[in-house]
Amino acid sequence: MILLSEKTRIEKSYSAIFKEKFPVDLALVVVWMVVSIVAIYLPLLIATPLRIILTLPIVLFIPGYCLIAALFPKNDDINLIERMVLSIGLSIIVVPLIGLGLHFTSWGIRLDPIVISLTIFTFVLVIIAYIQRVLLPSEERFGFPFSEIGGTIRKEIFPAGGGTVERILSVVLTVLILIAIITTIYVITVPRDGERFTEFFILGENRTAADYPDTIIIGQDYPVYVSVRNHEYRNITYTIETWMIRSEFDNMTNRSYITAMDPNDRLSLTLPHNETTIIPYNISADKMGYNRVDFLLFDEIVPGFNIAGSDRINASYRDLHLWVTVE
């Protein structure tokens, strides 16, 4: 049985949540997120500075701001400067943690999963922050001082009655915060060229590094996924070749030798820097005798078919293989 006081509190909470005006700062967060997502996927804005301007806040500020808004809904919990600094600091912590979590899932650290995760994280916190505020008396709720933000910041940095030492420390702290923000933005927008390489890997039928086919029945298809990620700092046209191979081990020399190597498939693709493609692929065999499937990745240089066997594998940029039994 619900007590009268609890029932009254529930009714009051319901009335507050669904009848109160939505806070302006949280509404602005929602609008900014929607506009940023449009900028990320709209082809006209992909190569423009406007895309960077719109998306930087959703990485460096908005997640932390929403978290602070949910944790500190009262106006006097923390001052405005502390909110701003903590919003930036928490964003720098939260966003990499979300990326780390995605790394251990089948989605990986790619654009779509990151955008979806940040959007869900932000919108959930916006709802929590809104509920937290409307359950408080109106005079206690935090409201972003848009109309007097300059005076508020100046008052927080240079409080009335502060001594000379306090003013100097406030100026130094403000300068250090600005330097940290500018440095972070510069590192993100103007990254240094690192090591140039290409990732090439095979995933099983569930898009994980497991469940690879080890027995192939002639005439049946076995699904896998071939993935390429470009870290070459330029557009690369890749060629992927699949070969069915019979390899035998020589106990005298303790080495494996290719006794048969037949082409199975070939495809080309152009991939921009820092982009990943995952290609669904079916492994199949049309005759007995094979015990290995080789995937060869070539960049711009693809040798002619006069280069075969181990020489062709060595000439590839990257190579992968699966050991199989054909029945």
pLDDT computed for residue 120 by the predictor: 94
pLDDT of residue 4: 43
For 85, residues 6+ apart whose C-beta sits below 8 A from its C-beta are 177
238 part of a folded domain = yes
Residue 117 within any structural domain of the chain: yes
Residue 44 tokens read as 């006209």
**Least confident residue range of 9-13, 36-40, 208-212, 225-229:** 9-13
Tell the burial category of 129 from Cβ atoms under 10 Å away from its Cβ (0-12, 13-18, 19+): buried
Answer yes or no: is pLDDT of 122 > 90.
yes
If asked whether residues 25 and 83 sit together in one domain, one would say yes
No. of H helices and E strands in the chain?
10, 9
User: Are both 141 and 218 inside the same structural domain?
Assistant: no
Q: Within this chain, do residues 275 and 149 fall inside the same structural domain, yes or no?
A: no
Q: How far apart are CA 204 and CA 320, in angstroms?
A: 13
**Domain contains 165:** no
- Which domain does 321 fall in, by range? 198-326
Q: Residue 66 has what pLDDT?
A: 93
Q: Are residues 11 and 143 in the same domain?
A: yes
- Name the domain boundary from 100, 127, 157: 157
Task: Specify whether the CB–CB gap between 297 and 319 falls below 8 A.
Answer: yes
State residue 22's pLDDT score.
85
> Are residue 141 and residue 256 in the same domain, yes or no?
no
Q: Cα 268 vs. chain centroid, distance in angstroms?
A: 26
Q: Please tell me whether residues 208 and 315 are part of one structural domain.
A: yes
Look at residue 140 and tell me whether its pLDDT is greater than 80: yes
CA 135 to chain centre: 34
Contacting residues for 189 by C-beta, under 8 A, at least 6 apart: 52, 56
pLDDT at residue 49 greater than cutoff 90: no
Q: What is the DSSP string of 16-54?
A: HHHHSPPPHHHHHHHHHHHHHHHHHH-GGGTTSHHHHHH
Which CATH number do you get for residue 203?
Answer: 2.60.40.10
Residue 184 falls within a domain, yes or no? no
Q: Are residues 19 and 132 in the same domain?
A: yes
Least confident segment among 170-184, 203-217, 307-321:
170-184
Q: How many Å apart are CA 187 and CA 207, to the nearest integer?
A: 32
- 0.85 cut: is pTM over it? no
Asked if residue 151 and residue 8 are part of one domain, the reply reads yes
- Overall domain count for the chain: 2
Is 293 strand, coil or helix?
Answer: strand
Q: Are 33 and 58 in contact (CB under 8 A)?
A: yes
Instruction: Please tell me the distance from the alpha carbon of residue 256 to that of residue 254, in angstroms, as a whole number.
Output: 7
Is residue 170 assigned to a domain?
no
Residue 174 forms part of a structural domain:
no
Range 49-70 average pLDDT: 87
Q: Which among 157, 181, 212 is the end of a domain?
A: 157
Q: Is 28 in the same domain as 151?
A: yes
Choosing from 157, 181, 214, the residue where a domain stops is: 157
Tell me, yes or no, whether 206 lies in a domain. Answer: yes
pLDDT of 6 > 90? The answer is no
Stretch 123-149: mean pLDDT, rounded? Answer: 83
In a domain, 169, yes or no: no
- Whether the Cβ atoms of residue 128 and residue 39 lie closer than 8 Å to each other: no
Assess whether 33 and 109 both reside in one domain: yes
Examine the domain organization and report whether 33 and 147 are in the same domain.
yes
Q: What six digits make up the tokens of 281?
A: 């692929």
> Are 297 and 188 in contact, with CB atoms under 8 Å apart?
no
Q: Do 22 and 143 lie in a common domain?
A: yes
Q: Is the pLDDT of residue 8 over 60?
A: no
